[in-house]
Structure 1
Amino acid sequence: MLAYFSTPLTVQIPLAFFWGRDHRQALEVWTTKRARDVVVDALRRDADGSLRLELTERLRAHQERNPNFRFAVFEPQTGALLPGSSEALAAHFKPLIGDVEVYGSLFHLTDDKNPNARGYVRTTLTRYGKLGTIVYGSDFHWDDIFYQLHAYIVTENILAFLPFCALVSLIWFFVIRGSLAPLHAAASNVRQINIDTLNWQAPSSELPSEILPFVEEVNAAFQRVRDGVARQRRFTANSAHELRTPIAILCARVDKMADDALKIELQRDATRIKTILEQLLVLAQIEERSEGKPPPALELGGALLAIIADLMPIAYANNRQIEFDAPDVGVSVRAYRWAVESVVTNLIENAMRVEPPGGFVSVRLTGDAIVDVIDHGPGIALEDRDMIFEPFWRKSDSTPGTGLGLAIAKELMEKQGGRLWAEETPGGGATFKLAFSREEN
């Protein structure tokens, strides 16, 4: 429909401009509609019922703007001219006046020295009924274009062209939809992309040639992102690996210090640093080895028991205890043992730091492959339970730690298809819950 109603502007005007001597395309043709409307607007009925043409302000302005403009209005049945009409112009149409009802005819007077002058004769439906109208000699002005375009958009034209527009739109809808189907499928896949699925590429087969360069550039952009992520992961892994030696030396030197309160604090800080470092290394290993494959099977109860056994001496040294509860039947999950050790160790160490002296940290495994690490410390405010897993987040500057341990632990769980979240311990404290992916039998 837009193409149809823009035809005067996009087709007819350029044709008239470049081939103006063609009687069908002269620019003066565009003046006839406005001229006829000006004349019809000047019609008046006297008290005796007779019609005449009055020199209205609009008609006077049009004549001043177009010095050669002439017009005539006549009764179609009798051929009688209305007062104010140009008799000389009407004389050219004497054979037609009163005998023929003209629905529209473009003309040029052969005795006119201006070869581009145009006129129009037709029977026009006015507010006073049907009248014959003749206009001639208006000069073309560029604002005539806008007047003509406005007159072009009428109800009759819209209704006549609407079915065709609907049919063409329907055809184009299905054609374009079918052509873009591969792109829609690619867009659906793009919505599922995250840092763990960067190996995905948009399919480039069966795509229209106009869209293919865009898809190829998207794939190239993903490749650059993959290269950048790989470089960052290598840097993190190499940095963590290089830090292992100085941290091991630091721990050894702290162990040689005299037993006092300062040594205990330094040991805690050194252990915290070592745990975070081990978590970073474990995370790098998962990203390097997984390659989209599921983790191996792991008997979770045995792995947890080994972790707790290793942490028991530290718990006793800090006047805490660790209790472990697990079902009699083994619980098999999909997880990396070294990742489970890293996450659970981090959670138990955090729990021991907030557990009151003489208390105990509970580690509970359910048959649904959910592990609870329970402490009886100050707990975590409801509004902070999501924030604690953000990197570098700490409640206040006085809160010990770097704010990285829980963030890394959560990412390790998600890399293995699991979850990590915090709840309130009944009676006070915090319960960290680990949900693992069960191994299908």
Structure 2
Amino acid sequence: MRRSLSFRLVAVLLSAQVIAFGAIPLFTFLISISGGAPASNMTINDWAQGHAYDLVVGSLVRAADGSVRLDASPALRAYMAEQPRLRVAAIDARTRAVAHGSSPELAATLAGLGKIEAASLRFHISDDEDENSRGYAYRTAPPFEDMLIAVYGYSFQWNDLLFVIGSLFSIPGLLSASPMIFGAVAIAWLMVRRGLAPLRAAAAEVSRIDLDSLDQRIPQAGIPGEVAPFVTAVNQAIDRLSAGVATQRRFTANAAHELRTPVAILRARLETYDDVTFTQELKRDVRRIQTIVEQLLTAARISNAESAMDEELDLSAIVLTMVADYMPLVIENRRHIEFDPPPSTVLVRGNRRALECVVANLIDNALRAEPEGGTVLVQVGRDATIRVIDHGEGISHDELSKIFEPFWRKDEHSRGTGLGLSIAKDLVELHAGMISVTPTPGGGATFEVSLERILT
């Protein structure tokens, strides 16, 4: 199960806060030794007071009669051995009785407080020759809540800093910091939830978009700057998808509509049977329908990656085959066709059936445009170009920019569906090629297909 982004962000924020919490002593320590905050009157030796105090508390023992004595633990003895100036004392806060094991000198100094009761006290003994010596007195927690523990003359060691950091992450330290920790978690969670609210709203908008609602977009109002590029990219993707779906729907609807034209013509010929022209016109109409359907199927298969596009093909052989296939129809329509091959083999990479459809479409268009008795010229150049040249009425300058648009025809009386050249253009572009049309000198049109030749 994937963790939510909210959980990850809160975890990162909480981890950063924990690290910062643990780093507080380090920063404070660096400030104290650098003298950056002289008003605090804190020296490096003050970092040892907590450790020394804790060792003294750990050495307190309550006797059977209720009295308390200071029985130095091994840890305290080791610590005092490293710090010969260290003095410790435990004093009953109510009776002022000094616990056995306390430093008499330190106990006597604290007795000078008289009736002053202090929960905690930092002090310096005035007649101490070392001006940097510090003392600390603190009233203990249960079970020795009536005892005032004092330490004096401690000096900093590196394990004192580790003790301070460790105490922060001890159970008492964490309990005391728990309000801050839980408050930080709650604040982080609320901030993350609030910050990600626009992203969740955007996701909800996307989930409602389907093929019937591609006009909807993700609102960008209130979207954070970090998320805005993602939302923009999604909206742009929906734009492309919407345009593609609209094109496909328009193509499908128009194809079904336009294919009715040759079918209607074929039906009319069957109903007005004429022995002289029937066979010739029937073959032409059937051939036109077959060419259109085969081009549609080929384009669909290539678009769906169902047909290979990496065949090594002899371009001249493909064009020659299509010229030969059209020869009977050329003869029946009292036209001529001429094939001009390249001087050597020209290899291209692509799909054989797709290129055959392109050539078939161009030859079919040229035969319909070529006047009776005229010659359609088909050329294959050594630079992997195919030219199909007719000598008919030609194409006007205004029509040149429209001729490859789906369903475009010169006029309503023009024969054909207006699909062939559009599909041919798509098939050529799937081969990373180009198709163009220019006027034929003397009249007519010249269609040229440029492909990438395989160099051998």
Same fold (TM over 0.5): no
State the TM-score, normalizing by the size of structure 2: 0.43
Q: TM-score with structure 1 length normalisation?
A: 0.45
Which has the larger Rg?
A: 2
